């Protein structure tokens, strides 16, 4: 009351005398008032001040008031005998046992007349533990006494009667606050739980400490009130003498924010200059200022703010007052008034030792699943509802029945009323209470304004990381103990046996960002350019007193560090061109840079474009200092149109050296082949998939792309590739080709890029120029670095990449579709289905169209399909020529149905041939069709295949007149051959399973000669040789029994040449029809077979292994020159 009057009566003019009683308690208010009175007395010499206390540092108090007179009044006390019992080794268990032993001796009268005993203990837990020990002594009546004890249990201490010696187990509440009657014995372990504030951790600690001499004397005095007493000190006299004379005043062990605020409000100057009896620690004073600054009550210079002035007028702790100010702003003042007034008193909920379960059950209905603070509101509403209907006596009984301290409930209401009045004096409006669902966030945000230092995040299990690097746990009595929330705010954090958070409520970390931004610390990391937003963004970490409450949110870095943001913008946006909508200057600059980079990629060098730092300097010297992103850049450019012009780069500014005009020819942008320009792309990225030259081939053109041309790369890389190839040769060859660059230069003078094997071409030149024979197996193109092989990109019609690689054959196999390049129907296409006669005009040899954006050349041809003839567009002229011949014959067979029908009936007929067909296991019907077709193909051998109606008619008329005779002649020769093969089969049957290799070779050769692919296209000159080939087989079989070893040797000589042809035919369909050299080789093989297995028979032409080798080289050369 007196302190409150100072706000409007600085000189306390209403008083002529002031009595400060119980000064030894040294509370904050007492010390502050004593200091203020010291300043006031010079202004009020008429004011009388009387300071009274039972135990006090008389000299210091007298000195404080300028050597004021001291009057000592002896109290009416009885002598007290003090016994020093001394320490025990095990402090906890030993002290309890000491006390139990002493009480037993007291009860037996060893120290004089029996009487009641008062035992001082540090805390509730110690009282409970000792009570458990003493309950086995039925001659003792044990009575606990501590502040949180229910009123009924406290009253038992003052009630007389009952059997047994009373033993009061009390905390230091019994030192001065209460006088227990009838006490003859005091047992003092010499410890108490003392509240101490840690400015470093902002923690109110409750450590157990040795008490002072003054406190020990206060305890001793409890047993000398009515008779002689005995005091047992469970420590040594030496220990007692060494203890502080007086207990530290509260001002030296508590937070001073309230004192600082009051002094600032009253204009009493700096705290360190205020005349306290015991000046507080400067660190604690500074902490008080910091707390007030965090609350917004003082400025950074320590001056009272407007908020601080309002806060000073609220008669509560500044933190609680700050909650009320916030609640008024947020519209939840009614609720927060209830909570703040509850936090200002001792918990009214009682928990009697013998009825803890019942009390917990009664209190549980008020608990809130997320917040202990809202439990206060639930309890308040319940109590107010009951108070409106019950009498005072009924209300008392209700409180007793439901385990509430009636007097504390009254105190709660009184403080609530005082705060309501104070708030109204400040102009606040206490609005009706909000529904709980709406109010939760609002209430807790208001509470957070005063409790930001008590925020914690759940870590592991039930442990939390709190602000200021503290580890805490939720107090077991909290409603949040069993299911702790991820984030919480605590009404208080107190250290006892652990660091406990009391009165907890769940919060969201996002709320902390809005409550008091001034106390948050923001750090930023990983700033990076963001193309989409056009700004430099950084990740933000927000901490509250060391506790991270937000991490990773992206914020505009330009608002935080403009200089660093500008540098990143220049380096990562302008220099690289990584922007969504580049301004005009940047578009031009990037295009210019790309052209130089392309030159670098083509020439495989990285010394043409200037370094990145030079580009950074270019923009840094010209851009405005406020250009930190695209928005600010555009704004800066619009402010002065001339600025755009000075940002354009010139070619000579970015080109370190000019590579020369020949680069375009050496590294062309396209590769032209058969009317198609294939796009080339250059990359200089060693080790990457796209390194080197890449050619783009649309899938529709893949079948007709050149096979070997890509081996020649481009002129600018061909020389280096050839040098690498020569360096990869075996050492013996390599030594003959030095120096490699000169050898390559001479070779390239005779070579030009074509669709032929590069290694084979080099071998030919080296043989001519140097006389060095390099075989195909000597070259190692696969060992070259990837960039020496063309990277082939296969794309669809829209340009989407389907696949890529450096092996053309593998890509063709992977994407083989069987469809020609012109797969899609064209409006003017010559293609036709189901052709029955030549009624479609002339058929051009070449037809041009568009595919995948490129001009495609196709070749129309008549095509024989399963049951019909059609006109189709084919990719390659050779392919088209063969297909066209097949189509002509198929169309002729359709149109000459009567002739064909007659031939089918007469050809290869007769009983003798029936037996031959059975022996050789050949189907007559298929062979008859081949004879008919072979006669037709023979008629095409001497003319150009018809491509017009007139030419077709002329050929067809000539064919029809000779067809029957030609077919009969071929049939007769075939009949002779079949009979010979039949005889060979009969002879082989007698051999059984012997000589399998030789027999199988014979039959495989027969099947090859009679196959559709060979017979139809052989021509009459070779078909006439079939009887001789069959006779040779018959002769071979008949001699196997006596000359098998000779036969095997001959077979070994034949096999390699056969295998070479088979492999070539498999990789090059239609080879024998397209290449005269291959066709000649094929029949030379047949003649070679005759010379090996039937030497007595003459061959049609000279043949030997040497001649076969020479002919095979011709075949290889033809294949190289005609890869398609």
- Summarize pLDDT for 200-227 with one digit per residue, the tens: 777 777 788 899 998 999 899 888 777 8
Residues of the chain scoring pLDDT < 70: 75-76, 87-93, 161, 174-178, 436, 661, 816-827, 851-854, 1123-1124
Binning the chain into helix, strand and coil, the percentages to the nearest 5 are: 50, 15, 35
Task: Kindly give, in sequence order, each residue whose CB lies less than 8 Å from that of residue 729, ignoring residues fewer than 6 positions away.
Answer: 737, 774, 778, 779, 780
Q: Write 276-282 long-range contacts (CB < 8 A, 24+).
A: 276/31, 276/32, 276/34, 276/35, 276/251, 277/31, 277/34, 277/35, 277/60, 277/61, 277/64, 277/249, 278/26, 278/31, 278/248, 278/249, 278/251, 278/252, 280/251, 280/252, 280/256, 281/199, 281/252
Distance between CA atoms of residues 215 and 221, nearest Å: 10
Q: What is the DSSP letter of 404?
A: B
Distance between CA atoms of residues 841 and 847, nearest Å: 14
Task: Kindly give, in sequence order, each residue whose CB lies less than 8 Å from that of residue 934, ignoring residues fewer than 6 positions away.
Answer: 967, 970, 1015, 1016, 1017, 1018, 1020, 1023
Helix locations, 255-371, DSSP H? 257-266, 282-295, 306-312, 318-330, 333-343, 356-364
Task: Kindly give, in sequence order, each residue whose CB lies less than 8 Å from that of residue 213, ignoring residues fewer than 6 positions away.
Answer: 240, 243, 244, 245, 246
Q: Do domains 2-73+253-285 and 80-248 have the same CATH topology?
A: yes
What is the reported pLDDT for 432?
76
Distance between CA atoms of residues 135 and 354, nearest Å: 13
Class of the CATH-defined domain 2-73+253-285:
alpha beta
Cis omega (within 30 of 0) for bond into 739: yes
The per-residue b/e assignment along 284-319, b for 16 or more CB within 10 angstroms, e otherwise, is: bbbbbbebbbbbbbbeeeeebbebbebbbebebbbb
Task: Kindly give, in sequence order, each residue whose CB lies less than 8 Å from that of residue 632, ignoring residues fewer than 6 positions away.
Answer: 558, 624, 626
pTM of the model: 0.61
Q: From the CB of residue 695, how many other CB atoms can be counted at a distance below 10 Å?
A: 23
- Location of structure tokens 């038992």: 156
Q: What is the DSSP letter of 279?
A: P
For 570, phi and psi rounded to 5 degrees? -65, -50
Q: Which residues pair with 682 in a beta bridge?
A: 693
Distance between CA atoms of residues 1112 and 1120, nearest Å: 12
CB 822 within 8 A of CB 829: yes
Closest residue by Cα to residue 806 from 721, 715, 713:
713
What is the reported pLDDT for 174?
64
Lookup: tokens for 1038: 């008949």
The per-residue b/e assignment along 596-606, b for 16 or more CB within 10 angstroms, e otherwise, is: bbbbbbbbbee
| Residues 272/275/278/281 CA torsion (nearest 10 deg) | -10
CB 863 within 8 A of CB 869: yes
What is the reported pLDDT for 769?
92
Q: What is the DSSP letter of 1011?
A: S
The full 3-state SS of 383-402, as one line of letters, equals HHHHHHHCCHHHHHHHHHHC
CB 570 within 8 A of CB 616: yes
CATH code at 80-248? 3.40.50.300
Order of all β-strands in the sheet with 165-170: 80-84, 229-233, 183-188, 116-120, 165-170, 140-145
Distance between CA atoms of residues 49 and 20, nearest Å: 8
Distance between CA atoms of residues 551 and 524, nearest Å: 9
Measured CA to CA in angstroms, residue 1058 lies from 286, 810, 1027 at distances of 104, 26, 21
- Give the torsion sign (CA, 587, 593, 599, 603): negative
| Span 348-379, pLDDT tens digits | 998 887 888 999 999 999 999 999 999 999 99
For 837, phi and psi rounded to 5 degrees? -150, 165
Task: Kindly give, in sequence order, each residue whose CB lies less than 8 Å from that of residue 787, ignoring residues fewer than 6 positions away.
Answer: 604, 686, 691, 692, 693, 717
Lookup: tokens for 959: 């064919």
Q: Which residues pair with 404 in a beta bridge?
A: 349
Question: How far is CA 883 from its chain centroid?
Answer: 58
Q: How many residues does the chain have?
A: 1124
Q: From the CB of residue 845, how many other CB atoms can be counted at a distance below 10 Å?
A: 14
Lookup: tokens for 875: 């990719």
Closest residue by Cα to residue 96 from 65, 122, 72, 63:
122
Task: Kindly give, in sequence order, each residue whose CB lies less than 8 Å from that of residue 5, ignoring residues fewer than 6 positions away.
Answer: 12, 14
What is the reported pLDDT for 176?
61
Give residue limits of the domains in the chain. 2-73+253-285, 80-248, 332-514, 663-814, 822-875, 896-1121
Helix (H, G, I), strand (E, B) or coil at 162: coil
What is the reported pLDDT for 738?
92
Distance between CA atoms of residues 327 and 449, nearest Å: 9
Lookup: tokens for 81: 């005998």
Q: Which residues pair with 17 in a beta bridge?
A: 48
Distance between CA atoms of residues 791 and 789, nearest Å: 6
CB 795 within 8 A of CB 851: no
Distance between CA atoms of residues 465 and 202, nearest Å: 14
- Location of structure tokens 């209401």: 413
Helix locations, 331-468, DSSP H? 333-343, 356-364, 372-389, 392-401, 406-425, 436-451
What is the DSSP secondary-structure string of 798-860?
A: T--EEEEES-HHHHHHHT--S--S--S--TT---BSS--SS-S----S-EEEEETTEEEEEEE
Q: Which residues pair with 455 in a beta bridge?
A: 489
What is the reported pLDDT for 851?
63
Tell me the residue ranges of DSSP E strands in 568-711: 670-673, 676-683, 692-698
CB 847 within 8 A of CB 947: no
Helix (H) or strand (E) holding 528: strand 520-530
- Location of structure tokens 């458990």: 132
- Classify residue 265 by burial, with Cβ atoms within 10 Å: 0-12, 13-18, 19+: middle
What is the reported pLDDT for 850?
72
Distance between CA atoms of residues 114 and 104, nearest Å: 11
CB 445 within 8 A of CB 326: yes
């Amino acid at each position: 009351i007196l302190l409150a009057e100072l706000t409007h009566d600085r000189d306390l003019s209403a008083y002529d005398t002031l009595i400060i009683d119980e000064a030894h308690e040294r509370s904050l208010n007492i010390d502050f008032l004593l200091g203020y009175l010291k300043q006031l007395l010079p202004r009020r010499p008429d004011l009388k001040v009387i300071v009274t206390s039972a135990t006090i540092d008389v000299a210091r108090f007298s000195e404080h008031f300028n050597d004021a007179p001291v009057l000592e009044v002896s109290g009416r006390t009885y002598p007290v005998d003090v016994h020093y019992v001394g320490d025990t080794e095990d402090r906890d268990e030993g002290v309890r046992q000491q006390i139990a032993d002493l009480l037993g001796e007291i009860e037996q009268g060893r120290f004089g007349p029996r009487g009641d005993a008062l035992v001082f203990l540090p805390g509730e837990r110690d009282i409970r533990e000792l009570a458990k020990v003493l309950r086995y002594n039925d001659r003792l009546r044990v009575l606990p006494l501590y502040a949180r004890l229910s009123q009924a249990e406290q009253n038992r201490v003052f009630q007389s009667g009952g059997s047994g010696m009373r033993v009061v187990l009390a905390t230091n509440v019994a030192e001065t606050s209460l006088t227990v009657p009838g006490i003859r014995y005091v047992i003092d372990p010499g410890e108490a739980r003392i509240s101490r504030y840690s400015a470093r951790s902002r923690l109110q600690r409750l450590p157990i400490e040795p008490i002072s001499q003054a406190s020990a004397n206060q305890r001793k005095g409890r047993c000398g009130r009515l008779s002689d007493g005995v005091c047992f000190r469970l420590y040594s006299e030496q220990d007692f003498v060494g203890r502080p004379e007086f207990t530290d005043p509260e001002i030296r062990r508590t937070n001073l924010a309230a004192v600082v605020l009051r002094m600032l409000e009253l204009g009493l100057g700096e705290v360190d200059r205020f005349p306290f009896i015991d000046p507080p620690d400067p660190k604690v004073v500074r902490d008080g200022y910091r707390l007030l600054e965090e609350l917004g009550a003082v400025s950074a210079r320590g001056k009272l703010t407007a908020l601080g002035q309002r806060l000073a007028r609220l008669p509560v702790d500044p933190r609680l007052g700050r909650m009320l100010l916030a609640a008024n702003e947020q519209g939840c003042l009614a609720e927060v008034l209830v909570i703040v007034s509850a936090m200002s008193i001792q918990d009214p909920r009682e928990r009697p030792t013998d009825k803890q379960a019942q009390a917990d059950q009664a209190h549980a209905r008020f608990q809130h699943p997320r917040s202990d603070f809202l439990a206060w509101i639930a309890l308040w509403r319940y109590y107010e509802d009951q108070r409106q209907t019950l009498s005072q006596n009924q209300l008392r009984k209700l409180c007793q029945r439901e385990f509430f301290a009636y007097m504390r409930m009254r105190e709660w209401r009184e403080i609530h009323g005082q705060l309501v009045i104070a708030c109204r004096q400040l102009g606040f409006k206490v609005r009706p209470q909000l529904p709980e669902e709406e109010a939760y966030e609002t209430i807790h945000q208001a509470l957070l304004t005063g409790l930001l230092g008590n925020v914690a995040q759940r870590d592991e299990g039930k442990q939390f990381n709190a602000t200021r690097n503290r580890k805490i746990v939720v107090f077991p009595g909290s409603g949040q103990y069993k299911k702790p929330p991820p984030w919480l705010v605590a009404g208080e954090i107190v250290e006892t046996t652990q660091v406990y958070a009391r009165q907890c409520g769940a919060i969201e970390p996002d709320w902390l960002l809005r409550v008091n931004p001034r106390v948050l610390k923001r750090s930023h990391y990983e700033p990076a350019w963001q193309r989409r937003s056009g700004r430099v963004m950084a990740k933000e970490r927000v901490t509250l007193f060391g506790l991270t409450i937000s991490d990773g949110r992206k914020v505009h870095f330009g608002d935080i560090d403009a200089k660093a943001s500008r540098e990143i913008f220049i380096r990562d946006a302008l220099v690289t061109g990584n922007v969504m909508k580049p301004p005009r200057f940047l578009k031009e600059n990037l295009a210019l840079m790309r052209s130089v980079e392309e030159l670098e990629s083509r020439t495989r060098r990285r010394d043409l474009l200037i370094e990145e730092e030079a580009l950074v300097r270019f923009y840094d010297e010209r851009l405005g200092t406020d250009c930190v992103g695209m928005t600010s850049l555009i704004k800066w450019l619009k402010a002065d149109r001339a600025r755009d012009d000075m940002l354009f780069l010139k070619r000579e500014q970015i080109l370190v050296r000019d590579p020369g005009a020949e680069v375009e020819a050496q590294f062309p942008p396209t590769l032209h082949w058969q009317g198609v320009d294939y796009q080339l792309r250059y990359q200089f990225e060693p080790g990457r998939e796209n390194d080197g030259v890449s050619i783009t081939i649309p899938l529709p053109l893949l079948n007709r792309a050149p096979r070997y041309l890509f081996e020649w790369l481009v002129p600018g890389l061909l020389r280096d590739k050839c040098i690498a190839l020569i360096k990869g040769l075996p050492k013996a060859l390599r030594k003959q080709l030095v120096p490699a660059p000169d050898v390559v230069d001479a070779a390239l003078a005779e070579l030009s890029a074509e669709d032929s094997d590069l290694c084979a071409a080099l071998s030919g030149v080296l043989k001519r120029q140097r006389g060095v024979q390099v075989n195909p197996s000597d070259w190692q193109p696969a060992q070259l670095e990837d960039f020496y092989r063309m990277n082939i990109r296969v794309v669809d019609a829209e340009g989407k990449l389907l696949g890529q690689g450096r092996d053309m054959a593998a890509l063709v196999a992977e994407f083989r579709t069987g469809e020609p390049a012109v797969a899609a129907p064209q409006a003017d296409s010559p293609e036709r289905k189901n052709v029955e006669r030549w009624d479609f005009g002339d058929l051009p040899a070449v037809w041009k169209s568009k595919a995948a954006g490129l001009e495609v050349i196709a070749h129309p041809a008549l095509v024989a399909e399963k049951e019909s003839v059609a006109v189709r567009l084919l990719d390659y002229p050779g392919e088209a020529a063969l297909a066209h011949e097949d189509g002509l014959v198929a169309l002729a067979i359709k149109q000459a149905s009567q002739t064909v029908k007659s031939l089918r009936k007469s050809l290869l007929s007769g009983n003798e041939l029936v037996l031959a067909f059975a022996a050789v296991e050949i189907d007559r019907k298929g062979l008859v069709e081949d004879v008919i077709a072979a006669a037709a193909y023979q008629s095409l051998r001497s003319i150009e295949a018809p491509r017009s109606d007139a030419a077709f008619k002329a050929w067809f008329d000539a064919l029809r007149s000779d067809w029957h005779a030609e077919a009969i002649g071929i049939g007769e020769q075939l009949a002779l051959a079949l009979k010979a093969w039949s005889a060979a089969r009969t002879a082989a049957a007698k051999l059984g399973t012997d000589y399998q290799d030789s027999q199988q070779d014979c039959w495989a050769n027969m099947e090859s000669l009679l196959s559709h692919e060979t017979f139809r296209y052989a021509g009459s000159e070779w078909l006439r040789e079939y009887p001789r080939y069959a006779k040779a087989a018959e002769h071979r079989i008949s001699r196997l029994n006596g000359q098998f070893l000779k036969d095997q040797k001959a077979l070994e000589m034949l096999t390699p040449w056969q295998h070479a042809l088979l492999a070539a035919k498999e990789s090059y369909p239609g080879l024998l029809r397209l290449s005269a050299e291959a066709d000649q080789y094929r029949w030379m093989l047949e003649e070679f077979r005759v010379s090996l297995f039937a030497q007595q028979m003459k061959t049609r032409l000279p043949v030997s292994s040497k001649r076969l080798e020479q002919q095979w080289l011709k075949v290889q050369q033809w294949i190289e020159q005609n890869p398609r």
